[in-house]
């Protein structure tokens, strides 16, 4: 089917956010196909530095022959706009983080997540199709009885890395210490406290010349961020750096300086940062949950459960064992090559034709 326009709506938009990056990539794909495409987001949920990239949801006016793509992950005014729209509609499911992760830190946010999960079946029914960005997410929505569920893996664009590394950040990372990097929202489901505790063992028992660099916004859960900082202080870890924001050039500098990318997250719909780390040639250590195995596609090193000291030993081996690092990096390069060869435009056209 041919559409005169393919617009998108989302609950929020911020630089570096995986859903925001996906929306931009889809918009660019649509425009490259000669189809008009805009991204609409509630005005109060647009990051100040991104206002030129999207339009306020209040300006969305559906027209005849249009398709509306809805990036769904949390309750927001975008849900009602999706329901009301007379356009052909596709829900892109990015997973709803279980509310229980947030109950001790942010009850209103937990309530929004609970509402989003309870509304998921209705959103799926209101859509002509559901595209999930991982098979893990597709299985979840299909279990609710949704029909016409297709997997459209999260898009990765290397163009975001097509800038030189920030020289100031690079200079600050030029020391000889082993650098363990985490990139992602500082949210309870990421279980960053497990990473900090494992790093305490690594830093104090195995490699004194080391640092843990946590790159991610605290805005999604400020109380959790405060807890993490207090926990690091309680463990007397001066070698933990909380980087609340990194520009694209700064993020590249962090990836290029890292000896290991590590995440102990217990809930992921996909996990874009592991792909970014692999693209930048950083060995990945990740918990084998949710959509992470699909993002890694056989590459990286994974674990299910590990005591802090066991995770510390994994960090040690992955930063010192040259042969093991070589095997992991070779598998990661092969994964990135498969991603680069992905016929994304053909996939999208096939999904559109199926409508």
Hunting for tokens 């409508």 — which residue is that?
Answer: 355
Of the candidates 105, 309, 97, 310, the one whose C-alpha atom is nearest the C-alpha of residue 184 is: 97
Of the candidates 247, 327, 213, 340, the one whose C-alpha atom is nearest the C-alpha of residue 47 is: 247
Record the pTM: 0.94
- Residue 158: what pLDDT? 86
133 with 154: CB under 8 angstroms?
A: yes
Instruction: Delimit the domains of the chain by residue range.
Output: 5-155, 160-340
- Residue 116: what pLDDT? 96
278 with 284: CB under 8 angstroms?
A: yes
Of the candidates 181, 206, 178, the one whose C-alpha atom is nearest the C-alpha of residue 192 is: 181
- Give, for 61, the enclosing helix (H) or strand (E): none
Q: For residue 59, what are its two tokens?
A: 């300006």
Instruction: Calculate the alpha carbon distances from 336 to 128, 275, 292, 339 in Å.
Output: 32, 8, 15, 5
5-155 CATH fold: Rossmann fold (3.40.50)
Note the CATH number of domain 160-340.
3.40.50.2000
Q: For residue 294, what are its two tokens?
A: 């699909």
- Residue 1: what pLDDT? 60
Do the first three CATH levels of 5-155 and 160-340 match, i.e. the same topology?
yes
One pLDDT digit (tens) per residue for the chain, 355 residues = 689 999 999 999 988 888 999 999 999 999 999 999 999 999 999 988 888 889 999 999 998 899 999 999 999 999 999 999 999 999 999 999 999 999 999 999 999 999 999 999 999 999 999 999 999 999 999 999 998 999 999 999 888 888 999 999 999 999 999 999 999 999 999 999 999 999 999 999 999 999 999 999 888 899 999 999 999 999 999 999 999 889 999 999 999 999 999 999 999 999 999 999 999 999 999 999 999 999 999 999 999 999 999 999 999 999 999 999 999 999 999 999 999 999 999 999 999 999 9
99 with 73: CB under 8 angstroms?
A: no
67 with 103: CB under 8 angstroms?
A: no
């Amino acid at each position: 089917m041919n559409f005169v326009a393919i617009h998108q709506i989302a609950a929020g938009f911020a630089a570096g956010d995986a859903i925001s990056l996906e929306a931009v990539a889809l918009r660019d794909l649509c425009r490259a196909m000669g189809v008009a495409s805009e991204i609409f987001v509630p005005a109060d949920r647009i990051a100040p530095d991104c206002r030129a990239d999207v339009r306020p949801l209040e300006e969305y006016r559906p027209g005849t022959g249009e398709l509306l793509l809805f990036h769904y992950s949390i309750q927001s005014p975008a849900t009602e706009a999706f329901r009301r729209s007379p356009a052909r509609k596709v829900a892109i499911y990015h997973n709803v983080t279980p509310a229980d992760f947030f109950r001790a830190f942010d009850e209103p946010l937990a309530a929004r997540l609970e509402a989003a999960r309870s509304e998921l079946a209705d959103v799926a029914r209101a859509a002509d199709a559901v595209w999930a960005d991982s098979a893990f997410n597709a299985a979840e929505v299909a279990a609710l009885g949704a029909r016409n569920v297709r997997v459209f893996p999260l898009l990765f664009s290397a163009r975001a890395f097509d800038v030189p590394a920030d020289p100031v950040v690079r200079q600050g990372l030029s020391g000889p210490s082993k650098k363990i990097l985490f990139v992602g929202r500082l949210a309870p489901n990421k279980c960053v406290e497990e990473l900090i505790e494992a790093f305490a063992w690594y830093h104090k028992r195995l490699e004194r010349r080391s640092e843990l660099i946590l790159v991610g916004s605290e805005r999604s859960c400020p109380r959790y961020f405060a807890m993490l900082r207090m926990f690091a202080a309680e463990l007397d870890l001066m070698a933990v750096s909380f980087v609340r924001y990194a520009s694209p050039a700064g993020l590249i500098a962090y990836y290029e300086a890292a000896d290991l990318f590590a995440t102990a997250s217990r809930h992921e719909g996909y996990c874009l940062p592991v792909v970014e780390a692999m693209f930048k040639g950083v060995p990945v250590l990740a918990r084998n949950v949710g959509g992470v195995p699909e993002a890694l596609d056989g590459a990286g090193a994974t674990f299910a459960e590990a005591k802090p000291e066991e995770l510390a030993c994994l960090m040690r081996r992955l930063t010192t064992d040259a042969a093991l690092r070589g095997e992991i990096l070779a598998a990661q390069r092969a994964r990135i090559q498969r991603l680069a060869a992905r016929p994304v435009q053909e996939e999208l056209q096939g999904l559109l034709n199926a409508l």
